[in-house]
Structure 1
Amino acid sequence: MRTHLPYIFVFFSFLFVSFSTPFYAFQKNTDKFVVVLDAGHGGNDPGNVGNGFKEKEIALNIVLAVGKSLEKHPNIKVIYTRKTDVFIPLRDRAKIANNANADLFVSIHCNSHHSSAHGTETFVLGLHENQRNFEIAKKENEVIFLEDDYKSHYEGFDPNSPESFIGLTLMQEEYLDQSTQLARLIQDNFAKTLNRVDRGVKQAGFWVLHSTYMPSVLVETGFLTYKPEGVYLNSAKGQGEVSLSIYKGIMDYKMKLDRNIGQNVYNDYSNIDTVNETVDVEDVSNNTAEKLYPNTVFKIQLAASSNKIEPKSYNFKGLKNISMEKEGKIFRYFCGNTSDYNEIKKMAEAAKSKGYRDSFIVAYQNGKRVKLSDAVNSASN
């Protein structure tokens, strides 16, 4: 029975997430970039209290400061798992992010160790690289023992058993690249702006990260058990500087999305006749009149990338009706969806004016992509 434990855990984790999250959590919001900020611990869970400092208070102060900075941007929506000193179960933190249709989940904590270890480190979900990472995750996960009837909520998960962590990584696997990118940007701001010791981007099995449907990181802002660092993190100056670095990391990440749709973007001219192909259609008395092809759907292919980016308007310079298709390891991104050829030509001009100079019109018939010339000619016959 022991050898099957990881697989049983994966199965029940899937059921837990699927049935405890409302359906609308899977329907992405398209108007704002949503960031969920999670202050670790709270209420009857003080977190670590190295040198008498309280993790729950420091984490909350930093979260509120990060949120205040983000809220100055009208295209960003901030949601907090807690804004006061209350206890929030781990399972509810991820659920808050999913129900908010969030684009990022950032959980903020303070570290502890029996040595003089100090510095910042940011975690993404993954199997432990070493015993130290396991111990950090273990401490954060043990908060489930404070919850009533925790066994029924966590389906046999045991923070003390390395076997229990095997199934955690599956949920977040598709967001690992984006989570790692965000984590690295946060760490870079700590190191370059504040000259903090950079302990790196690491992987470990944090329950609070595993059930989220978006890029997610857990930031360990420093060690309260290292007194100079504890004094710094407990001060208004330290909390202000740390929150600014995390805020800049989030904004750096968003700026990369705004600039284009991710790394490794390239022009993809597969399945079209010629680059920037246009097709002459029969003259109509009014250039604005509809030229409909009832059995055909036209779209504008904007780009292709090896990175998965949420198909949202703000990620594509405000263009509307964004969609995504995956073929192999490549994601293709489109705007528009119409059977009116005149309308799609206007959309193509709008896309080029936004900077997508190599974008082009594509056509679909019965859900299958076809050459644009074939679609138009077949409709004309």
Structure 2
Amino acid sequence: MSPLQAQDNKFVVVLDAGHGGHDPGRPTENGYKEKDIALKITLLLGAELEKNDDFKVIYTRKTDVFVTLKDRAKIANKADADLFVSIHCNAHHSQASGTETFVLGAKNSERNMAVAKAENEVIFLEDNYEQHYEGFDPSSPESTIAIGIEQEVYVEQSIVLARKIEDNFVNKAKRKSRGLKQASLWVMHNTYMPSVLIETGFITNKTEGAFLNSKSGQVKIANAIKDAIVDYKKELDDNVGSGILGTEKLDTETVETLENLPLVYEGITFKVQIAASSKNLATKPYNFKGLSEISKVKVGKLYKYFYGSTSDYNKVKQLQEEAKSKGYTSSFVVAYKNAEQIDLAEALKSAAN
């Protein structure tokens, strides 16, 4: 069954409260426990979703118990879920603040890698972790990059949901957003559905920690996530048959509000191929339904025509949707490296190295 389709008329959401049991999560000086706050937000979120008959909610834990990262993904896959949502709190030695929502991806900044390392290190608390995680080392950048590849097919949908969540944190919960990020997090590895990991704020920040530890704060966070999930499902329903979630609905104002980091792949140039023809056309807007920034290359007897040129994968997907809206319905993204066209999947992988 397609991951874009709800099963049995129910949209299945797996809610994952981070940490638990003998794994308290991030340490704090003010007594707040990540495992407790994450669970309370998760249960509030689940209760709100369950009020809607369109949703079926499955929890990786509903009490203070330890669940391995591997089993969290297993629960989601067994349920054939439509979404996997993992709830956490952030921590830092400074008074850093703000929400972050992560999708699984190979592109890691130093900061994102630090988050990935911290969230993945719970593996060491598990029995026989060497056998369970196939040599995965949470301290190794190579390991954390490698786990992102299998989930690549779901990244686009995950990004749509993540942006809705961060948008709601800003506009509805009135929180500071640190944006959407990509990192290699094991809890989302091998989850065969769109997946996000939400850092609801910093429990090490005096003000934000108190907010997250309060019932009113937890309700605001839970409702912001709930509304994003409901909106995400509605967008899916509106796009049935199109096979893709359109990023055109994410306006630039929303993205700027989120201070979103572009998904830039250094050394890679993405373009949208809109046509191939034996005709040598001038690359002017009047020849291409008003589209500007057209380029062409001759391959054999054919001319290939491209729209746009960017190293930002998010941007090129938006350009593709724009081209489709102009009538180029079969347009697709291509990748170039050192002026040579390469396979798109290879481009997304190689850029991580």
Deviations 1:6-56 (A, max 9, x none): xxxxxxxxxxxxxxxxxxx9x983431100000000000000132210000
Tell whether the 8 Å contact from 2:203 to 2:212 is kept in structure 1 after alignment.
Answer: yes
Partner-residue secondary structure (3-state), 1:155: coil
State whether structure 2 residue 21 is matched by structure 1 residue 34. Answer: no
CA deviation map 1:227-266 (0-9, x unaligned): 110011000011011001010111110111122333289x
User: By how many angstroms is 1:329 displaced?
Assistant: 5.5
1:108 to 62, 87, 90: 87
Matched, 1:208 2:191: no
AA in 2 matched with 1:220: E
1:159 and 2:138 matched: yes
Q: Is the 8 A contact 1:128 1:134 kept in 2?
A: no
CA offset at residue 127 of structure 1? 2.3
Q: How does 1:1-381 map to 2 (within 5 A)?
A: 29-50=7-28, 51-261=30-240, 262-263=245-246
| Structure with greater Cα Rg | 1
Whole-Å separation in 1 of the counterparts to 2:146 and 2:16: 23
Tell me the matched-pair count: 247
Query: Which residue does the alignment assign to 1:313?
Result: none
Which letter maps to 2:130?
K
Q: Distance in 2 between matches of 1:117 and 1:177?
A: 28
> Helix, strand or coil: the match of 1:123?
strand
Aligned partner letter, 2:20: G
TM-score by length of 2: 0.67
Question: Under a length normalisation based on structure 1, what TM-score does the superposition of the two structures give?
Answer: 0.62
> Contact conserved, 1:58 with 1:233, CA < 8 A, in 2?
yes
SS in 2 for 1:106: strand
Verify the 8 A CA contact 1:36 1:106 in the aligned structure 2.
Answer: yes
Q: Report runs of 4+ in structure 1 exceeding 3 Å deviation.
A: 27-30, 327-330
State the match for 1:288 in structure 2. Answer: none
Contact 1:70 1:76 (C-alpha < 8 Å) held by counterparts = yes
**Alpha-carbon shift at residue 141 of structure 1 (Å):** 0.4
Unaligned 5+ segments in structure 2 are 249-316, 319-329, 334-353
Q: CA deviation at 1:128?
A: 4.3
Identity among equivalent positions (%) equals: 60
Structure 1, gaps ≥5 residues long: 1-24, 266-305, 308-326, 331-381
